[in-house]
C-alpha cells in the first residue's frame, strides 16, 4: 500500500519554521564564552528534528545543511569547541539559510544554491578549525585506544557492526527505521540484514507495531559518536549494540536492504519512490497553495467551549422547532423566551469563535530580536530591546498586517533614534540605548507603544522642513501633534542622507496608511535629547463590533460602542461659539468641539442645538460631541469593507446590513474629525475673503 506523503508536508513545514524560530531565539540569548548547555541541547534537538523530517520527505538540500549544522552544534554542546560571537553569527546565518531553503521547497521555487554552499563550507571550516593538529592527533590516539574496546574511534578493518532492535511502539513515537538506515548510509557503505523471525501471520499483524530488527555492517572511517548521533532520538525506544567489525580483506560490501515479506519490501519501495517524486510535483505547482495557506494553533479549552455552545444551540433550535409545529397564541411567551435564548447562544457562539482567532502579540514580536541583533552589528550601536505585554491577544488577521509597520518603526528607531555609543557617552547617557515595546488593552482597542531613549525629533527642524515643502503657510501656528504628524508625509524627513536601514522619508507614510486600513491610528510624541514614543491604536478584530445606532436625517449610522463616553441632551447655557464656525460644549469641566452631522453629511436642517441630542465620543484621548437626531439602540454589527465593495470614503470605517435589510454606514471618528476640520477651514477662509 502506497502512502501519500504530501498530506504531512504542510505540518512538517509549520513545525520546521517553529523550530527555526526556537533556534534563533536560543542563539540570540546565548552569551559567547558562557553557553547554556541546556539551551544548546534545545537548539540541537530542533536542528535534528528538521533534519529527520527533511530526510523523510527527500529534501536533500535541507538535510545536507542541517547535517553540517548538527556537527558544529554537537561539538559546542560537548565542550569540544568554544562558543564565540563569530560562531553564534554563523549559526544565525545558517538558520536564515535553512528558512529560505524550506520556503523554496514549500513554495515550489528555486533557492539560492550558492548561499547554501557558502554556509555549508563555512560550517565545515569552523569545525575543521577547531580540530588543530594536536586535537586531530588526540582523536587518532583515542580511536586507536578504542579499537579494542568499542570506543569512540572507527573499528578494526574500518567499520562497525550495529544490532538494532526497536521496541514495538517505535512507530507511535514518530520515528521510522528506514530513515535511520538512510542516515547511516550517509556515513559510509552499509550492508543490512533484516530479522523477520518475530513477524506474525498476516491475520495477526498489527501495522502500528514494529516487529522487525536489523543488523547493519557499516564500512568506512566512521567515529562511534556519529553512529550514536543517528540513533540518539530512539535510544530509549530500542535495543542497540555497536561493535567494531573484525578485520576483512579489501572488498567492501554493496549496500542492500533485505526484508522477508515481499509485500513489505514493495511497500517500502513505493514510499521511497513517492518521496522522491514529491519535489518535482511541488515545483510544477503542487506547492503553490502552501505559501498562501494559513493555520493557527488553538487551545483545546477553546475548542471544548465551542462544542458546548454548539450543543446549547442545537437544544434551543429543537425547542423552537417543536414550538413552531404546535404553536398557539397561549405559547407566545415561551416562544419569546426561546428566541431570547437563541440570541444568547448565538452571541456566546460568536464570542467563542472570535476567541479562536485571537493570538498573542508575541507572534508579531518574534522577528524583532533578530532584526535588532543584526542592526546593532550593521550600525555599530548597542541596544537593549525590551518586549512587554507579549501575552496580549489580537485578531490574527490584524496581527499579520501590523508586522510590517512594526518592523519599519523599529528600524527607524534603531537608525534615526538611538545614538551611537560614543555619542551617548558624550551626552551623559548609558552607551546602551533602550528600545521598549509595550502592548496592552484599552477599551476595545489594543495599544502598541514603541519607545526609545534616543535623540528625539526636533519640532522646529521638522516644521521648517514642512514649510520648505509647502505644507505649512508662513506664520501658521500648529500644535505639537500636527507638527509631528508631518513625519508620515511622503518624502519628508529631518535627515539629509538616506541609509540602507531606513530611507529618506520613504515608508513612514506607508506605515500610517497600513494602520489606517486596519481601522487604527498612530500618534507621535517626542522630546529632543530624551526620546520618541509612537503609539498605535488598533481594533481587536476587523469583522464584528458592538455599535450604537442613531439617525441623522433619513439615514441610520453606527458608531463603535467602545468610542462612546456619554449620550446627553444639550443645555443651551453650555453651548459656546468660537470665532468662525466652531461650536464648543461645556462637558465635565472642559470644552469639547461639536460636529453637526447633518451639515457635515449635507443633510437639510440645522438650527438651534438646545435640547438636541449629542453623543460624546473619544478618539486617542480627544473628545468630540456628535449632534444626532435620534438614538435607536445598540447591537452587534458585522463590518463590511467599503474599500472592497465600493471605494474608500473618509469618515467611514465600513458598512453593515441591519436586520431589516437596509445598509448603515459605520463612522470612523478620526476621519470625521479630519472632515470637520477641513470643512471649518474652508468656511473660515471663505468668510475672511
In this prediction, residue 556 has a pLDDT band, given cuts at 50, 70 and 90, of: very high
Domain 6-131 shares a fold with domain 360-539 = no
Q: Is 604 exposed, middle or buried (0-12, 13-18, 19+ CB in 10 A)?
A: exposed
Paired with 604 in beta bridges are none
The CATH number given to 360-539 is 3.30.565.10
Average pLDDT, the chain: 79
Q: What is the enclosing helix (H) or strand (E) of 105?
A: helix 85-107
- Per-residue pLDDT reduced to its tens digit, 303-344: 888 888 888 889 988 888 888 888 888 888 888 888 888 888
Helix (H, G, I), strand (E, B) or coil at 290: coil
φ, ψ (nearest 5 deg) of residue 636: -80, 140
Q: Using CA of residue 353, residue 354, residue 357, residue 359, what is the dihedral sign?
A: negative
pLDDT score of 686: 61
- Residue 630: closest CA among 541, 559, 553, 545: 553
Q: What is the enclosing helix (H) or strand (E) of 616?
A: strand 613-619
Q: Is the pLDDT of residue 256 over 70?
A: no
pLDDT score of 140: 38
The answer to whether 393 and 541 have CB atoms below 8 angstroms apart is no
Q: Is the pLDDT of residue 269 over 50?
A: no
In this prediction, residue 352 has a pLDDT band, given cuts at 50, 70 and 90, of: confident
Q: Is the pLDDT of residue 255 over 60?
A: no
Say how far apart CA 515 and CA 519 lie, in whole Å: 7
Residue 19: all three cell numbers together = 523550530
* Residue 95 CA from chain centroid, whole number: 17
Rounded mean pLDDT, 460-478: 80
pLDDT score of 112: 82
Residue 485: all three cell numbers together = 504628524
Q: Is the pLDDT of residue 546 over 70?
A: yes
Say how far apart CA 269 and CA 267 lie, in whole Å: 5
* Residue 561 CA from chain centroid, whole number: 29
- Residue 412: closest CA among 504, 537, 530, 516: 504
The answer to whether 202 and 279 have CB atoms below 8 angstroms apart is no
Architecture of the CATH domain 144-260 = 2-Layer Sandwich (3.30)
- Helix intervals (H) in 177-331: 177-185, 224-230, 262-281, 300-325
Q: Is the pLDDT of residue 499 over 70?
A: no
The region that residue 58 occupies, defined by phi over 0 for left and psi between -120 and 50 for alpha, beta otherwise, is left
Q: Is the pLDDT of residue 288 over 50?
A: no
In this prediction, residue 222 has a pLDDT band, given cuts at 50, 70 and 90, of: confident
Say how far apart CA 586 and CA 588 lie, in whole Å: 7
Q: Is the pLDDT of residue 549 over 90?
A: yes
- Per-residue pLDDT reduced to its tens digit, 118-158: 888 888 888 876 544 433 333 333 333 344 333 444 444 46
Say how far apart CA 539 and CA 518 lie, in whole Å: 8
Residues in the chain: 689
Residue 673: all three cell numbers together = 474629525
Q: Over the Cα atoms of the chain, what is R_g?
A: 34
pLDDT score of 273: 37
CATH number 2.40.50.180 given to 544-688? yes
Residue with cell 520515528: 175
In this prediction, residue 474 has a pLDDT band, given cuts at 50, 70 and 90, of: confident
Task: Kindly list the distances between the CA atom of residue 214 and the CA atoms of 156, 198, 205, 380, in Å, as whole numbers in the listed order.
Answer: 21, 12, 19, 56
Greater pLDDT, 471 or 428: 428
Paired with 354 in beta bridges are none
Paired with 238 in beta bridges are 166
* Greatest C-alpha distance within the chain: 111
**Superfamily (CATH H level) for 6-131:** HPT domain (1.20.120.160)
In this prediction, residue 424 has a pLDDT band, given cuts at 50, 70 and 90, of: very high
Q: Are strands 383-387 and 433-442 parallel, antiparallel or unpaired?
A: parallel
φ, ψ (nearest 5 deg) of residue 650: -60, 135
- Residue 92: closest CA among 114, 113, 122: 122
The answer to whether 575 and 612 have CB atoms below 8 angstroms apart is no
Give the domain ranges of the chain: 6-131, 144-260, 300-356, 360-539, 544-688
Residue 601: all three cell numbers together = 453629511
- Residue 271: closest CA among 75, 642, 8: 8
Rounded mean pLDDT, 632-653: 82
Q: Is the pLDDT of residue 259 over 50?
A: no
The model carries a pTM of 0.58
Greater pLDDT, 340 or 581: 340
Q: Using CA of residue 643, residue 649, residue 655, residue 661, what is the dihedral sign?
A: negative
Say how far apart CA 375 and CA 23 lie, in whole Å: 19
Amino acid at each position: 500500500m502506497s502512502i501519500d506523503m504530501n498530506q504531512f508536508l504542510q505540518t512538517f513545514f509549520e513545525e520546521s519554521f517553529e523550530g527555526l524560530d526556537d533556534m534563533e531565539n536560543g542563539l540570540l540569548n546565548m552569551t559567547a564564552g558562557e553557553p547554556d548547555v541546556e539551551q544548546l541541547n534545545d537548539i540541537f534537538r530542533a536542528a535534528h528534528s528538521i533534519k529527520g523530517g527533511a530526510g523523510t520527505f527527500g529534501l536533500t538540500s535541507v538535510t545536507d545543511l542541517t547535517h553540517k549544522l548538527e556537527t558544529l552544534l554537537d561539538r559546542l554542546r560537548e565542550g569540544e569547541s568554544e562558543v564565540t560571537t563569530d560562531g553564534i553569527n554563523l549559526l544565525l546565518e545558517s538558520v536564515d539559510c535553512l528558512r529560505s531553503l524550506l520556503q523554496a521547497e514549500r513554495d515550489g521555487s528555486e533557492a539560492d544554491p550558492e548561499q547554501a554552499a557558502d554556509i555549508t563550507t563555512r560550517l565545515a571550516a569552523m569545525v575543521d578549525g577547531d580540530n588543530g593538529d594536536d586535537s586531530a592527533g588526540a582523536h587518532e590516539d583515542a580511536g586507536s585506544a578504542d579499537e579494542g574496546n568499542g570506543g569512540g574511534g572507527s573499528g578494526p578493518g574500518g567499520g562497525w557492526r550495529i544490532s538494532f532492535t526497536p521496541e514495538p511502539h517505535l512507530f507511535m513515537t514518530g520515528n521510522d527505521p528506514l530513515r535511520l538506515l538512510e542516515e547511516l548510509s550517509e556515513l559510509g557503505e552499509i550492508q543490512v540484514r533484516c530479522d523477520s523471525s518475530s513477524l506474525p501471520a498476516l491475520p495477526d499483524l498489527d501495522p502500528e507495531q514494529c516487529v522487525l530488527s536489523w543488523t547493519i555492517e557499516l564500512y568506512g572511517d566512521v567515529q562511534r559518536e556519529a553512529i550514536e548521533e543517528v540513533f540518539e532520538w530512539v535510544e530509549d525506544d530500542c535495543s542497540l549494540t555497536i561493535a567494531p567489525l573484525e578485520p576483512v580483506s579489501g572488498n567492501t560490501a554493496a549496500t542492500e536492504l533485505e526484508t522477508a515479506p515481499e509485500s513489505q519490501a514493495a511497500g517500502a519501495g513505493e514510499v521511497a519512490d513517492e518521496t522522491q517524486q514529491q519535489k518535482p510535483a511541488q515545483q510544477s505547482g503542487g506547492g503553490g497553495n502552501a505559501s498562501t495557506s494559513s493555520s493557527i494553533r488553538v487551545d483545546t479549552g477553546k475548542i471544548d467551549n465551542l462544542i458546548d455552545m454548539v450543543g446549547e444551540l442545537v437544544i434551543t433550535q429543537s425547542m423552537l422547532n417543536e414550538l413552531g409545529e404546535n404553536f398557539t397564541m397561549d405559547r407566545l411567551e415561551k416562544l419569546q423566551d426561546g428566541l431570547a435564548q437563541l440570541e444568547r447562544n448565538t452571541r456566546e457562539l460568536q464570542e467563542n469563535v472570535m476567541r479562536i482567532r485571537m493570538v498573542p502579540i508575541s507572534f508579531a514580536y518574534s522577528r524583532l530580536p533578530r532584526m535588532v541583533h543584526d542592526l546593532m552589528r550593521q550600525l555599530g550601536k548597542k541596544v537593549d530591546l525590551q518586549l512587554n505585554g507579549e501575552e496580549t491577544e489580537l485578531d490574527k488577521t490584524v496581527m499579520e498586517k501590523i508586522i510590517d509597520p512594526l518592523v519599519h518603526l523599529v528600524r527607524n528607531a534603531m537608525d534615526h533614534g538611538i545614538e551611537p555609543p560614543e555619542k551617548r557617552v558624550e551626552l551623559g547617557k548609558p552607551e546602551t540605548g533602550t528600545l521598549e515595546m509595550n502592548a496592552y488593552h484599552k477599551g476595545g482597542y489594543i495599544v502598541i507603544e514603541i519607545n526609545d531613549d534616543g535623540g528625539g525629533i526636533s519640532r522646529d527642524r521638522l516644521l521648517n522642513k514642512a514649510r520648505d515643502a509647502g505644507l505649512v503657510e508662513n506664520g501658521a501656528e500648529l500644535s505639537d501633534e500636527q507638527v509631528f504628524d508631518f513625519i508620515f508625509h511622503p518624502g519628508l524627513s529631518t535627515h539629509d542622507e538616506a541609509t540602507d536601514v531606513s530611507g529618506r522619508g520613504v515608508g513612514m507614510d506607508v506605515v500610517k496608511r497600513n494602520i489606517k486600513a486596519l481601522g487604527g491610528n498612530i500618534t507621535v510624541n517626542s522630546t529632543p535629547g530624551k526620546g520618541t514614543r509612537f503609539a498605535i491604536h488598533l481594533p481587536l478584530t476587523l469583522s464584528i463590533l458592538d455599535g450604537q445606532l442613531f439617525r441623522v436625517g433619513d439615514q441610520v449610522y453606527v458608531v463603535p460602542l467602545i468610542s462612546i463616553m456619554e449620550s446627553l441632551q444639550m443645555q443651551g447655557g453650555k453651548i459656546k461659539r468660537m470665532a468662525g464656525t466652531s461650536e464648543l460644549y461645556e462637558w465635565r469641566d472642559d470644552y469639547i468641539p461639536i460636529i453637526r452631522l447633518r451639515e457635515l453629511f449635507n443633510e437639510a436642517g440645522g438650527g438651534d442645538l438646545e435640547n438636541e441630542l449629542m453623543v460624546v465620543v473619544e478618539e486617542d484621548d480627544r473628545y468630540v460631541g456628535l449632534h444626532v437626531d435620534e438614538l435607536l439602540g445598540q447591537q452587534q454589527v458585522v463590518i463590511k469593507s467599503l474599500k472592497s465593495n465600493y471605494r474608500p470614503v473618509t469618515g467611514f470605517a465600513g458598512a453593515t446590513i441591519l436586520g431589516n435589510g437596509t445598509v448603515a454606514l459605520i463612522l470612523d471618528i478620526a476621519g470625521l474629525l479630519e472632515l470637520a476640520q477641513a470643512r471649518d477651514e474652508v468656511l473660515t477662509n471663505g468668510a475672511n475673503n
